[in-house]
Amino acid sequence: MTDSYAVIGNPVEHSLSPWIHNAFAQQTGEDIAYEKLTAPRDSFESVARRFLAAGGRGLNVTVPFKLDAYDFADRLTERARAAGAVNTLALQRDGGMLGDNTDGAGLVADIRENLAWPIAGQRILIVGAGGAARGALLPLLEQQPLRVHIANRTAARAERLAREFARQGTLTGGGFEGLSEPFDLIINASSASLSGDLPPLSERLVTPSSHVYDMVYGAEPTPFMAWAAAFGAATSDGLGMLVGQAAESFMLWRGVRPETGPVLRELRVQLQAR
């Protein structure tokens, strides 16, 4: 029997999730159907319940509904609680709905497995203090970096986020002013690249031995990646994170972990051919 899944959002037409999950299904031999669901911005719950009532087994959740999905879930994973948002809903055997957040796990998997960049023992700078940064923190801290600093235009927001996660590791937060020492790993979790902007970072933060990651992805390097590459740093966009978080969702739904490498390589070819 074919099991039904979907990605729900608004807008959602651009989503690569159906292609990714169908590739995972073909690779693993799982019998699934996967579709896109556009929900009016005030109708997440009704659209989700209608899909589930028709036999749906799980949902990927994208903007602007990750907080709605958090409230919709009957129970939450630890990483969903830490993120304060849900991007994956999985129907359980008892009829309950489990909410998870796979974004941070996808980021860590891409950095460690696809890029082979170290995290343990590293000095990490996270740019931005919004939902993307929050979702990444617990999975990153579980890898035991030497320290993590959150930098944000509004320093108080970064400081507050650092305090929330202080028990998980050595964590600080603040504004961009005064940052002058290099970091081993710099992660752009801000939305700056979406508008072609650059965060106000000093060139002293990046060296030829730094690794620089932008959560945004595209056919061409982002402005953030180009900035870092000019100083000799190794760079990557977030396409592997997209595939990695999808693999975590697939594992939650189907109990089998797909290989992300072949899917990521094919998706990169398709993206560059557009």
154 annotated to bind ligand = yes
pTM over 0.85: yes
Residues 124 and 166 in one domain: yes
What pLDDT does 191 receive? 85
Residues 95 and 195 in one domain: no
Residue (of 67, 197, 84, 206) closest to 133 by Cα position = 84
CA–CA dist 218, 235 (Å, integer): 13
Find the domain containing 139 and state its range: 104-237
Q: Above pLDDT 90, what percent of the chain?
A: 94
Residue 274 has pLDDT above 80, yes or no: no
CA–CA dist 100, 209 (Å, integer): 34
Annotation marks residue 36 as catalytic:
no
Residues 11 and 34 in one domain: yes
87 annotated to bind ligand = yes
Q: Above pLDDT 70, what percent of the chain?
A: 100
238 annotated to bind ligand = yes
Residue 273 has pLDDT above 90, yes or no: no
Domain count across the chain:
2
157 annotated to bind ligand = yes
* pLDDT digit string, tens, across residues 206-229: 999 999 999 999 999 999 999 999
pLDDT interval class at 196 (50, 70, 90): confident
pLDDT interval class at 272 (50, 70, 90): confident
Residues 43 and 115 in one domain: no
Residue 109 has pLDDT above 90, yes or no: yes
Residue 195 has pLDDT above 80, yes or no: no
Q: What is the CA 237 to chain-centroid distance, rounded? A: 12
130 annotated to bind ligand = yes
Q: For position 135, which CATH number holds?
A: 3.40.50.720
Q: For position 12, which CATH number holds?
A: 3.40.50.10860
What pLDDT does 129 receive? 97
Residues 147 and 224 in one domain: yes
pLDDT interval class at 1 (50, 70, 90): confident
92 annotated to bind ligand = no
Least confident of 80-94, 186-200, 223-237: 186-200
Q: Average pLDDT of 254-266? A: 97
217 annotated to bind ligand = yes
Choice among 66, 134, 149, 211 that is catalytic: 66
pLDDT interval class at 192 (50, 70, 90): confident
Residues 233 and 244 in one domain: no
Residues 10 and 132 in one domain: no
Q: Average pLDDT of 110-126? A: 98
Q: State the SS3 of the chain.
A: CCEEEEEEECCCCCCCHHHHHHHHHHHHCCCEEEEEEECCCCCHHHHHHHHHHCCEEEEEECCCCHHHHHHHCCEECHHHHHHCCCCEEEECCCCCEEEECCHHHHHHHHHHHHCCCCCCCCEEEEECCCHHHHHHHHHHHCCCCCEEEEECCCHHHHHHHHHHCHHHCCEEEECCCCCCCCCCEEEECCCHHHHCCCCCCCHHHCCCCCEEEECCCCCCCCHHHHHHHCCCCEEECCHHHHHHHHHHHHHHHHCCCCCHHHHHHHHHHHHHHC
Q: Average pLDDT of 136-153? A: 97
Mean pLDDT, the chain, as a whole number?
Answer: 96
* Helices 17-28, 239-254: crossing angle, 10 deg rounding: 50
Residue (of 4, 8, 165, 137) closest to 72 by Cα position = 8
Residue 197 has pLDDT above 90, yes or no: no
Tally of CA atoms within 13 A in the half-sphere of 158 that contains its CB: 21
131 annotated to bind ligand = yes
Residues 108 and 233 in one domain: yes
Residues 80 and 149 in one domain: no
Residues 79 and 195 in one domain: no
